[in-house]
Amino acid sequence: MGFAIERDGDLLAVSVDGQLVVGNRQEFKQLVLDEVEQGARRVLIDFSNTGYIDSSGLGALVSLGKRIRERGGELRLAGLNEDLRTLFELTRLDTLFKLYDARDTALVGF
């Protein structure tokens, strides 16, 4: 499990490798917050290599989304497979976030 970050100006892309769960959500959240403090405003989280997300991981995304909006930015989520979409739909978080199948499509107009 781990996170890979790419930064290009105010664009931040974070790939989540493995799971986003109670055991690593704080590391993930702090990593993104640090980048936001350093000017990242367009934030893309790529779940192409993610197995599953638990409620702690979903909560971290909600928290980050609020913080990024407060700073005038936007959070987009990409690479969600059918399983992950199920989680967002069950929790109605598909109404809160913009979800994209792939990173390329998420970057259009971003």
Residue 22, interface with other proteins (CB under 8 A)?
yes
In whole angstroms, the minimum distance from the beta carbon of 50 to other proteins comes to 11
Size of the site for other proteins (CB under 8 A): 26
Helices 55-70 and 25-37, axial angle in degrees (round to 10):
10
Residue 54, interface with other proteins (CB under 8 A)?
yes
Sign of CA dihedral 37, 12, 41, 11: positive
Stretch that binds other proteins, among 2-10, 33-41, 80-88, 100-108 (CB under 8 A): 80-88
Q: Which of 31, 33, 62, 107 binds other proteins (CB under 8 A)?
A: 62
From CA 11, how far away is CA 106, in angstroms rounded? Answer: 12
Residue 13, interface with other proteins (CB under 8 A)?
no
Residues that bind other proteins (CB under 8 A): 19, 21-23, 51-56, 58-60, 62-63, 66, 82-83, 86-87, 90-93, 95-96
